Amino acid sequence: MSTSNAYLDQVVKQQERLEADLRSKRAPAPAKASAPGPPPRGGRQGGDGGQPTSSAVEVRITGFGRWKTVLVPPNAFVVHTRRGRGEPLHVGLGVSFRYNPATDSYLVVPGAMQTILINAYCICSELQGVLVQAYVQWIIEDFATAYRKLDFGDAEDPMRVVNLQLKEQAEAAVKDKVATLSVSAVLSDKQPIIEELTARLRAVAEGVGLRIVTVQIKEAVVSSARLWENLQKPYRAEQGRIARLAELAADEAIGERELAAGRLRETQVIENERDLADLRARGAALQFDREAAERLRRARREQEDARALADLQDATNRHALALERERAAEEAEIGRLRIERETELDRLKVEGELAVAAARAQAGHEQALLELERVRQRAAIDNAQSPESIQARLVDSLPEIVGRMPKPAELRSVTIGGTDPTTVSGLIAELAGVVSALQTTMARKPS
């Protein structure tokens, strides 16, 4: 059983596709001559008056008949030729011109930068398939040279044939360079491929009026999956070893970190418990201090209240004592005034009584004098009488005399020397002395 060569089949298919692409797509000839008309889009217009095909550049044609004007965009190159002229009438970027369909022809090409994508299936020095992906950017630098040496005649895409030619040259250059390199060199360093590709394309572009702007390698891929896997195995194994060692180191570091974190956590727990115990102790001490201070404050307050109450009671007592003293003084004053009043009343009463008594004594004295006068007279009469009769008569009148006499305030005894009270003469003498004392007393008292 024969096996087909997939790489050879792929190369053949690409070659057939390239041959088909390199064939210029020209506009078909018209069936019969017709009056030339303005093409709807800019493109390649011949002098035979055929209908032009559409182009990638928008071109406006104004006017009619022989008096037409082609308006070219400012970013497009144009070459205008006329029958019978060896040199073009107009060549340049964005040049508009008058156009006669019967004798003139023109070509419009885009002036923008072009990009070519390259997928080069290469064989390296180790006879292994490698796919190199790259891109090339180029622009028209000298259109007067380029339109003579390059094929811009594709009606649909004037740049298609040029792009295909540059693409094939670029793929050939890439394959030639990769054939001298190993797989690892292609995968690791793409700068030699870029330099080789740039040198070859610039050598080609400078002779045809083009300029290579940039050449870049996008990717390099090994065609064989097994080879690609085998190439990756050492790196993967090394990376696996590094990753495993990193995991072990990470596990060890994590274990140490966990142990350190556990110790730190336990230490923090112990410190937190110690801090909490200190806080509780300080809180209890503060609470005790507050309670002791509160008790002391209350005791001081009670003492102050008791002292204030005692002071108030003392002041009250002193005030009450002062009031009592004032009341006692007032009562004493009132008593003294009462006593003085009573004394004055008693004095007045005594004086009144004494006055009455004096008046009575005066009256009695006068009466006594009268009586004494009568007695004298009687004594004179009685002197002539006997002593026994006189004595009897005096004794008989003594009760009457005593009854009429005022009650004395004091009793004074007067002894008349040499008189015998047992005799009538002595008794009379004593009565005379009493009367004399009464008169003296009454004379001393105020009237």
Cβ-contact 231, 183 below 8 angstroms: yes
Phi-psi region of 209 (alpha: psi -120 to 50; beta: other; left: phi over 0): left
- The structure tokens 């009429």 sit at 404
Which residue has tokens 């006879």? 127
User: How far out from the chain centre does Cα 279 lie?
Assistant: 28
pLDDT computed for residue 374 by the predictor: 76
Query: Looking at residue 30, what DSSP letter applies?
Result: P
Q: What is the largest CA-CA distance in the chain?
A: 240
Name the band, by pLDDT with cuts 50, 70 and 90, for residue 182.
confident
Band of residue 62 on the pLDDT scale cut at 50, 70, 90: confident
More reliable by pLDDT, 39 or 17:
17
**Distance (Å, rounded) from C-alpha 169 to C-alpha 191?**
18
Q: pLDDT tens across 375-418, in order?
A: 677 666 656 656 666 566 667 777 777 677 666 666 555 555 55
Q: What pLDDT digit, counting tens, does each position of 330-374 carry?
A: 887 887 787 877 777 777 777 777 777 777 777 777 776 777 777
pLDDT band at 28 (very low <50, low <70, confident <90, very high): very low
pLDDT band at 443 (very low <50, low <70, confident <90, very high): low
Query: Is the predicted pLDDT of residue 248 greater than 60, yes or no?
Result: yes
Residues pairing with 97 in the sheet: 70
How is residue 381 written in tokens?
Answer: 């009469």
Please state the domain extents for the chain: 33-110, 114-141+153-223, 289-447
For 91, 250, 278, the CA distances from 265, given in Å and listed in that order, are 86, 21, 19
Residue of 54, 17, 61 whose CA lies nearest to 37: 61
pTM equals: 0.45
If you average pLDDT over every residue of the chain, what do you get? Answer: 76
Q: What is the pLDDT of residue 442?
A: 63
**Which pLDDT value is given to residue 267?**
86
How far apart (Å, rounded) are the C-alpha atoms in residues 184 and 447?
A: 174
Fold entry, domain 114-141+153-223: Tetrahydropterin Synthase; Chain A (3.30.479)
Q: Please, are residues 416 and 430 in contact by the beta-carbon 8 Å criterion?
A: yes
Structure confidence by residue, pLDDT tens digits, 70-95:
888 888 888 888 888 888 888 888 88
* Cα–Cα–Cα angle for 219, 220, 221, rounded to 5 degrees: 115
Where is average pLDDT lowest: 13-22, 131-140, 356-365?
A: 13-22
One-letter amino acid identity for 316?
A: T
Sequence-separated (6 or more) residues with CB below 8 Å from residue 193: 132, 134, 174, 177, 178, 181, 186, 217
- The whole-number average pLDDT for the span 228-253 is 80
